[in-house]
Amino acid sequence: MPTPITGVVAPVVTPIDDDELTVERVADSVEFTLECGCHAVVASGTGVQETVALAPAERKTLISETADAVDDRVPILAGVSYPAQSVVSDLVAHAESEGVDGLLAMPPWGLEPSADAIVRYYEAIAAETDLPVLVYNNPSITVDMTKETMRSVAEIDGIEYVKESSRNWQKVGWLLEKIHHAGHAEIFTTMDVLLPTLQSGGSGAVIPAPATVPAMRVYEAHEVGDLERAVAAQRTFGSFPPDEVSTGLTAVCKAATQLAGVDVGPPRPPYDAVNDEGRAALEAWLDEQNVPRA
């Protein structure tokens, strides 16, 4: 049985150039993610990684390239989400062949699935693999699963982790009590509620670089009982992204990674990149947080 994943889990930003996956820059993106600090990484699985804008073949390439670049330094979760179960099965088989440590799956997107369909979807994934599965609830990408549906999914054998992205503390608290403390699965959340998640017994959060820099400070301070330092680090998320930025988190993380010296390109068209005012504000935030530079 692999060691359970806890702490800061970091999605590796996907390099795009001229609307094409830039395979030769995946390793650079991995290195930046690791330098910023994390306990595990995600390959091609979350919204910030532009997962839904990638073809299945590109997803496979990212999983392979990420696994090669990480080279067993930290655990890897491979994203296998897709609206079609047959494609999910193909991604699961590929991820297993690359020796990853676990799988990450959002519910299907596009045509909204019922609660029963969501449960069947995860049952099928769990039946196909011995790898632990992280269930990723991301309302900005797909359906917002109810807490009751999430508990039903967490009760499936093989579902070891659940990530809740809503920032709804009432829901997070319910999930912590009914899923985490009930022994069904470990609960992860977002950077916005990392410290209260840890204080309530949760396992950590899924957070992209460079926001992982203060996130690691939160986690490490909490681990040694230094509440003052943990609170100070948590407060930095109140200014990330800066007010001058008007785009979503994908564009923010790509711009910040570029400003740190790693060319991952803009978001895949047609989505917006961060403008000059936003980039200047991000540059100041990077300096303030002592984010590593390439």
In the DSSP assignment, the letter for residue 45 is -
Tell me, yes or no, whether 267 lies in a domain.
Answer: no
Tell me, yes or no, whether 275 lies in a domain.
Answer: no
Tell me, yes or no, whether 256 lies in a domain.
Answer: no
- CATH number at 60 reads 3.20.20.70
**Nearest CA to 37 among 219, 247, 246, 280?**
219
Tell me, yes or no, whether 52 lies in a domain.
Answer: yes
Q: Which secondary-structure segment (H or E) carries 186?
A: strand 186-189
From 2-6, 195-199, 201-205, 210-214, the region with the lowest mean pLDDT = 2-6
Tell me, yes or no, whether 250 lies in a domain.
Answer: no
**Terminal CA-CA length for the chain:** 36
Return the CA Rg of the chain. Answer: 18
- C-alpha pair distances (Å), 173 with each of 141, 159, 199: 22, 19, 11
Domain range for 60 = 7-240
Secondary structure of residue 234 in the 3-state scheme: helix
pLDDT range class, residue 2, cuts 50, 70, 90: low
Tell me, yes or no, whether 183 lies in a domain.
Answer: yes
- Residue position matching structure tokens 């930025």: 245
Q: Give 243-261 pLDDT, tens digit per residue.
A: 999 999 999 999 999 999 9
Q: Give 33-61 pLDDT, tens digit per residue.
A: 999 999 999 999 999 999 999 999 999 99
The pTM of this model reads: 0.96
Tell me, yes or no, whether 251 lies in a domain.
Answer: no
Which two three-digit tokens encode residue 275?
A: 């403008």
Tell me, yes or no, whether 270 lies in a domain.
Answer: no
Q: What is the pLDDT of residue 1?
A: 42
Domains identified in the chain, total number: 1
Q: Give 154-200 pLDDT, tens digit per residue.
A: 999 999 999 999 889 999 999 999 999 999 999 999 999 999 999 99
